[in-house]
Amino acid sequence: MKLIAHRGNIFGPNKSQENKREYLEEAIAKGYDVEIDLWKDDQYFYLGHDEPQNQISIMWLVHNKNNLWIHCKNFKALESMSNIPIDFNYFWHENDKHTLTSKGYIWSYPGQPYNLKSIIVMPEKNDLLKFYCNDIITDAKDYNCFGICSDYVSKIII
């Protein structure tokens, strides 16, 4: 099962560090995949949730591609990902209950049904999944899915 650090978070939300290259690299070094928010303007790629903030190179994306779940935040980012002849794992969604990634995984919004090809996103936002983040470690065997994307991946046992 994949554990995916939402914007690089592994111990809980950290808005001042989310989507920063070094923070993402720390999560990857600890063995996690990371979900990133990717923007593109006419020339450059950027990381940032609500707006483009931290410029990154295509080489950084290529170097880390096996650990990235790329949430394209604007059309230029989506278009660029779809035109680059590299096997990135990317997706676009806004308010969808589910979306399909470029590698065929189902990105399942909190509280939505899921299956063995699904990434359960932010289970801590949904009591139905009995996932609590305070001091309780959650056993991922309880979930029949491909992966979990959370701000609290350090509290999940696989």
Q: What is the pTM of this model?
A: 0.92
DSSP for 45-58 reads: EEE-SSS--EEE-H
Helix (H) or strand (E) holding 138: strand 138-139
How many domains would you assign to the chain?
A: 1
pLDDT of residue 129: 43
pLDDT of residue 125: 79
Rounded to the nearest integer, the mean pLDDT of the chain is 91
Listed in sequence order, the residues at least 6 apart from 47 whose beta carbon sits closer than 8 Å to its beta carbon are 19, 20, 21, 24, 36, 37, 38, 39, 53, 54, 56
- Count of Cβ atoms closer than 10 Å to residue 33 Cβ: 21
Listed in sequence order, the residues at least 6 apart from 93 whose beta carbon sits closer than 8 Å to its beta carbon are 71, 99, 107, 109
pLDDT in tens, 43-97: 999 999 999 999 999 999 999 999 999 999 999 999 999 999 999 999 999 889 9
Q: Please state the rounded mean pLDDT for residues 117-135.
A: 70
CA atoms lying within 13 Å on the CB side of residue 57: 3
| C-beta of residue 49 within 8 angstroms of C-beta of residue 57 | no
pLDDT in tens, 25-45: 999 999 999 999 999 999 999
pLDDT in tens, 134-143: 555 566 677 7
Opening angle at CA 22, ends 39 and 133, nearest 5: 90
Residues spanned by the domain of 124: 2-157
